[in-house]
């Protein structure tokens, strides 16, 4: 069977399992809320619900579009479903998938890359569950004895450090794209200080993708 046929079968199976699984997870996420509202008879007014949703969408709506597109190259088809089902996409799933592709010398879009990223993501989910359970059991006791500056660093700067490491990992391989991806949001923020965060994210992500595509068309970095 050719590479194209393998990929077609892989994507078909991924969609067949991943789509309904994610839809079921999205639906069951409402169960705790429905249970609390029915138990305590505190059903909110629809205006309150829609206002809260509107505020959330205004803050994070850009990610609905940006994350599936920008992360797909590293996660792959199955990895995208797994990532959005388990969470921690940017700070956990994307870094391990990117490292798996680098360690196996896999090119995004190939069946090898799909398998490597999926296995890495599955491993990260298992380890994530283990350490989350461990943190829930002993985490409070450990945090209580840590110096304040360590606790502050862990709570405020962990995500930034992880994202910075992920950017560095890709920037080493594609330095021109890395410089552009870092410089574009800084330039926009300097030129338009009042620019909305969601708009800054959308322009930066898709601008970097467009720039990388132009470089690829010119034969740079192939």
- Give the predicted TM-score (pTM) of the model: 0.71
Report the pLDDT value the prediction gives residue 148, as an integer from 0 to 100.
Answer: 82
- pLDDT at residue 150 tops 70: yes
Give the pLDDT of residue 222: 57
Spans of all domains in the chain:
3-146
Of 161, 52, 153, 171, the residue nearest 102 (C-alpha): 171
pLDDT at residue 94, as a whole number: 87
Q: What pLDDT does 221 receive?
A: 59
The residue that leads in pLDDT, 164 or 115, is: 115
How far apart, in whole angstroms, are the C-alpha atoms of residue 34 and residue 37? Answer: 5
Average pLDDT over residues 76-101: 87
- What 3-state DSSP class applies to 192? coil
Q: Which residues contact 168 (CB under 8 A, 6 or more apart)?
A: 178
**DSSP character at residue 41:** T
Sign of the alpha-carbon dihedral angle for 159, 165, 166, 167: positive
Tell which wins on pLDDT, 148 or 24: 24
């Amino acid at each position: 069977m050719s590479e194209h046929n393998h990929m077609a079968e892989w994507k078909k199976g991924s969609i067949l399992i991943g789509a309904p699984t994610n839809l079921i997870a999205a639906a069951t996420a409402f169960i705790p809320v429905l249970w609390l509202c029915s138990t305590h008879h505190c059903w909110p007014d629809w205006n309150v619900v829609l206002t809260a949703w509107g505020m959330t969408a205004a803050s994070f709506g850009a990610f609905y579009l940006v994350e599936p597109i920008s992360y797909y190259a590293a996660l792959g088809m199955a990895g995208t479903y797994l990532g959005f089902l388990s969470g921690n996409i940017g700070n956990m799933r994307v870094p391990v998938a990117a490292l798996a592709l680098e360690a196996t010398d896999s090119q995004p879009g190939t069946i090898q890359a799909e398998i490597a990223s999926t296995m890495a993501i599955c491993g990260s989910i298992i380890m994530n569950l283990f350490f989350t359970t461990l943190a829930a059991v002993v985490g409070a006791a450990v945090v209580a004895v840590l110096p304040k500056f360590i606790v502050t660093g862990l709570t405020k700067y962990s995500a930034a450090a992880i994202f910075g490491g992920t950017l560095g990992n890709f920037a080493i391989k594609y330095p021109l794209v890395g410089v552009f991806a870092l410089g574009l949001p800084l330039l926009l923020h300097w030129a338009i200080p009042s620019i909305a965060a969601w708009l800054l994210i959308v322009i930066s992500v898709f601008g970097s993708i467009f720039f990388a595509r132009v470089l690829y068309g010119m034969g740079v970095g192939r």
